[in-house]
Each structure stands twice: as structure tokens, then as C-alpha cells.
Amino acid sequence: MLRIRSTMIIVTTLSALSATVFAVDIFSADQALIHSGQTQFEKNCTSCHNAEATGKMDKKNGVTIAPDLTQIAKKNDGIFPMWQIYDVIYGKKAGAAHQARKMPIWGDELVKSRSVNKESREAIVRGRILAIIAYLSTIQAK
Ligand code: HEC
């Protein structure tokens, strides 16, 4: 019984580890994508989330201005929940508009060029968000 249990623990640990490695691995091959994501992040996100992505507090009243984005994987059993984070950044998921959301809806914000058609704009936005996610996945606390 004990043996079965410890085997199960090892299997669970190994699958959690491989999931983490996998999540980071799919992006680590593409340094250009990660770099582009970092540039986007520095341009659009650091005002609230801080240059190191570690979040900001309002020191006067101890309220969080924006959360620490390096702890996302840690808070989720070591797995970076890529599509969940994608939805948060994209921001147009049903319901989001009804929440007291302070975070900007980047699905609208990340496209400034009006010279392309709607379909192309959508593709540009999604590419930009994926790049930001690639970057965020590389700065997760262990
Ligand atoms: C105006 C301030 C502000 C800016 C700019 C901003 N955020 Fe946020 N962000 C927040 C706040 C506040 C939250 C917490 C949820 C809420 O209140 O909407 C948040 C939450 C998040 C979360 C969810 C974190 C979690 O643990 O679930 C992610 C991911 C995120 N932001 C990424 C980004 C990215 C990427 C950018 C730039 C493209 C960005 N944010 C720009 C304020 C901001």
C-alpha cells in the first residue's frame, strides 16, 4: 500500500514537472518571440505591474495596484496556465465587462494601426498577446 502511494506521488510530481518544463519549452526555442513580448510588456504593462513584473502596492493604504505576474505558475501548482492568462490579457471574454475590472482590455488596446482590415487587426492583437505570454512564461518564479 505504502509502495503504491509513493509511486503515485512520484508519478504526480513527475507529470507536474514535465508540464512546467513543457509550458516553458514551447516558447524557449523562439527568442525573437520572447524578446518581442518583453518589448510589448515594457511599453504597455510596467506602469501598473512594475518593470520586473512583480506588481505594485499602494504603500499608503496597503492596497495592491496590480498583481505580481512572476507568481502565476507558482500559484497554479507550478503550471503556467497559458490560455487562462491569454483570456485575462485579451479581456473580451463574456463576463469580463461586468466585473469591476481595472486591467485594460488589451484585445482593443494593442492595435493602434487602423490601416489594416478587422481580420488582420485581430491576428496582430493575438500575436502580440502570445508574445507577451511567451515572455511572462520565462520570468515565472520557481
Ligand atoms: C492600469 C493598470 C494596468 C495595466 C496598464 C496593466 N494591468 Fe494587468 N492587471 C491590473 C490589475 C488591477 C489586475 C488585477 C485584476 C483586475 O483588477 O482587473 C491585473 C491583472 C493582470 C493579470 C492576471 C494576474 C493573475 O494573477 O491572474 C495578468 C496576466 C495581467 N494583468 C497582465 C498584464 C499585461 C500583459 C499588461 C500589458 C499588456 C497589463 N497587465 C497591463 C492592472 C493593469
For 56-112, what is each residue's pLDDT tens digit? 999 899 888 999 999 999 999 999 999 999 999 998 765 544 556 788 888 777 776
Q: Give the pTM.
A: 0.81
For 31-54, what is each residue's pLDDT tens digit? 999 999 999 999 999 999 999 999
Q: Is the CB of 47 under 6 A from ligand 1?
A: yes
SS percent in the chain: helix, strand, coil, step 5: 60, 5, 35
Domain 2-138 fold is: Cytochrome Bc1 Complex; Chain D, domain 2 (1.10.760)
3-state secondary structure at position 111: coil
With the most atoms of ligand 1 within 8 angstroms of its CB, the residue from 40, 49, 110, 130 to mutate is 49
Q: Is the CB of 43 under 6 A from ligand 1?
A: no
CA gap 122, 108 in Å, rounded:
9
Q: Is the CB of 49 under 6 A from ligand 1?
A: yes
CA-proximal residue: ligand 1, atom 2 (nearest): 48
In the 8-state DSSP scheme, what is residue 98?
Answer: G
